[in-house]
Structure 1
Amino acid sequence: MTDTLLDAPRTAQCLPWPALVNEIEALLTDASVSVPPRLVVPMDQGAYLFAMPGCDARTAMTKLITFTPANAGTARPTIQGDVTVFDVATGQRRLILDGPTVTARRTAAVSALAARQLAPNLAGPMLIVGAGVQGMAHVEVFAAALGVRRFLVASRSAASADALVQHARGLGLQADAVPDADAVADDCPLIATCTPASAVVLRALPRPDAFIAAVGAFTPQMVELAPELCRHVAQYGRIVVDSRDADHEAGDLLQAGLPVADFASLADVVHGDLLGQAGGQRSGPVLFKSCGWAGWDLAAARLAVRAAG
């Protein structure tokens, strides 16, 4: 196959939600996967350049993206870039995928996999905090892959919350905007925080059967969750991180003074290897802290190559 440049809609078509969740789980059991630490280059005005390579026995890829928080609220996206996919055997470039689409879909799919493995209660309703690209992706994947039908949306922008509500209703889901995430947290066994992570957006302590996916903060300086919330879950429930990269990137947990390296990773969960991990056998609320890992992009690349033919 000759190399193909896929725009955002075509990239999304190659990454259907249930298949992407399953591919991410399969990647975690593939011994041929090799993912070095990502390169993070700080730029002016709080922006970052990320270079994220990874490969398995057949597929190699590199994601090169920028994160520009100053673009929030403008016509320019905060995340821009591409994922370039190669065939390992021949070295041939196979695909160039839209980077923001891959990032949005794989991040939400990882949250869905974590919920499938860890959530005490998948009945909903689900509270979405943040009504941007990740908020939309989490609505879509939790509905398509886990069957959640009821959503509440909280956002600093009423217009953005209303737009996501209308999008969810267009998918046949029940959805409403709420002015205060903390006020409804006790009604929601499922929560996802999907904000730019410039300030705490959730302070309410979770109910005992809650599952929280916190995806907005992916540097030590970023934060979405109150330290008291994080410490509460560490004491009474379980904290799981998406990968060991979170040990030095999980701003929510680091700012709460928690020993991030002691918490299980999603790979530990999939492998059933939780003995000795902090909170590994404990019931109660679950906090899944996602910081991003090139392995998730590799899973998307593997699926896209098959889907593109």
Structure 2
Amino acid sequence: MTALLDAAATAAALPYPALADALEALLRDDTVVVPPRLVQPLTGGGSLFVMPAADAALAITKLITFVPDNPAHGRPAIQGDVVVFDARSGQRRAVLDGPTVTARRTAAVSLLAARRLAPRPQGPLLIVGAGVQGRAHLEAFAAGLGVRAVQVASRSAASADALVAHARGLGLEAQRVDDADAALADCPLVVSCTPAQAVALRARPRPDAFVAAVGAFTPRMVEWAPDVCRHLAATGTLVVDTRDADHEAGDLLQAGLDVAALPTLADVVRDTPAWRRARRAGGPVFFKSCGWAGWDLAAARCALAAAAR
């Protein structure tokens, strides 16, 4: 029978530490195949994403829509599903809630990168952008890194206050900050997850900072000022999530950087020559995340393993 998981059941099947482990295992698996995703523009400025992936056991397709101005109208920006099939029989195994998978696997990718790359993973943490991804990253970094203190910046004070209240409900020290640039000086962990329609950060992160930049996932989107990205390239270490970032990493592309020359998270996990050549002993680490159907395949693996238990 097909398991049909709603948002709550999907979240319960994807605890952040276990999901980060599943992501790392996927990056070590040579049977994984992920073709380019299809992005179909929609009337009104939205997009339809069709994202397939497969390994030796499973095949998945994520079908989601992204409409950036939906939250202003009381609707979620991301809607859709992840459909999971048995790769040998073709039988449908599960349908997962697409927005929940997207939120949790994106935060878990940042968690995996922080595990590997953050000079000071204990924080404090600065979250810039208090929407779905802000909440997911807060929960992921608290569960997976043991972060105990967080500052939240958002263009919406009400959204920032709501995320601060959620953090306090998790037992964290939390406060709203109105100047994200100034807060960079206090926080060695930074997550930027804004709508990425305009530059949101113009100051330089700390020399011991780890930045997970997740908001800009098309060439036209941007969160970080180009001169900051160029400074980070000159003084620190830049890593992208996958090679798809070569044509999607808006922050880095708009800074004129050669994204194709940067190591990927798979290079880090596998300790490849590309990673050994690129890494610096000191300086900030900037991790650019754009999304990839492989992350959804890892989430499907994690969810089915949870169901089997």
- The two structures share one fold, judged by TM-score above 0.5: yes
Preserved CA contact (<8 Å) 1:274 1:280: no
Alpha-carbon distance between aligned partners in 1 of 2:248 and 2:208, rounded to the nearest angstrom = 26
Q: Unaligned regions of 5+ residues in structure 1, if any?
A: none
Report the CA distance between 1:282 and its aligned residue: 4.5
Match of 2:263 in 1: 264
Q: How high is the sequence identity, in percent, across the aligned residues?
A: 67
Match of 2:37 in 1: 38
Q: Unaligned regions of 5+ residues in structure 2, if any?
A: none
* Secondary structure of 2:121's aligned partner: coil
1:147-166 alpha-carbon deviations (Å, 9 max, x no partner):
11100000011100000000
* Backbone CA RMSD of aligned residues: 1.1
Report the CA distance between 1:90 and its aligned residue: 1.4
Alpha-carbon distance between aligned partners in 2 of 1:99 and 1:134, rounded to the nearest angstrom = 14
1:34-73 alpha-carbon deviations (Å, 9 max, x no partner):
1111111122332111000001111110000000012022
Match of 1:162 in 2: 161
1:90-118 alpha-carbon deviations (Å, 9 max, x no partner):
11101100000000000000001001111
Alpha-carbon distance between aligned partners in 2 of 1:276 and 1:153, rounded to the nearest angstrom = 32
* Secondary structure of 2:268's aligned partner: helix
Change (3 A) 1:274 1:210: farther
TM normalised by structure 1 equals 0.97
5 Å-filtered alignment, 1:233-244, equals 233-244=232-243
TM normalised by structure 2 equals 0.97
Match of 1:208 in 2: 207
Preserved CA contact (<8 Å) 1:193 1:213: yes
**Equivalent residue letter for 1:4:** A
Alpha-carbon distance between aligned partners in 2 of 1:106 and 1:186, rounded to the nearest angstrom = 28
Report the CA distance between 1:308 and its aligned residue: 1.9
Change (3 A) 1:25 1:138: same
Match of 2:142 in 1: 143
1:125-184 alpha-carbon deviations (Å, 9 max, x no partner):
100000000000000000001111100000011100000000011111111000010011
Match of 1:102 in 2: 101
Alpha-carbon distance between aligned partners in 2 of 1:28 and 1:40, rounded to the nearest angstrom = 24
Alpha-carbon distance between aligned partners in 2 of 1:16 and 1:70, rounded to the nearest angstrom = 29
Alpha-carbon distance between aligned partners in 1 of 2:277 and 2:131, rounded to the nearest angstrom = 33
* Structure 1: 4+ residue segments shifted above 6 A: none
1:191 and 2:190 correspond: yes
1:232-289 alpha-carbon deviations (Å, 9 max, x no partner):
1100001000000000000000000000001000000000014477732452100000
Preserved CA contact (<8 Å) 2:122 2:145: no
Alpha-carbon distance between aligned partners in 1 of 2:84 and 2:98, rounded to the nearest angstrom = 11
Match of 1:16 in 2: 15
1:198-223 alpha-carbon deviations (Å, 9 max, x no partner):
01111111111001000011000000
* Secondary structure of 2:52's aligned partner: strand
Preserved CA contact (<8 Å) 1:5 1:95: yes
**Equivalent residue letter for 2:196:** A
* Secondary structure of 2:220's aligned partner: coil
Match of 2:296 in 1: 297
Alpha-carbon distance between aligned partners in 2 of 1:143 and 1:73, rounded to the nearest angstrom = 29
Change (3 A) 1:165 1:276: closer
Give the aligned length: 308
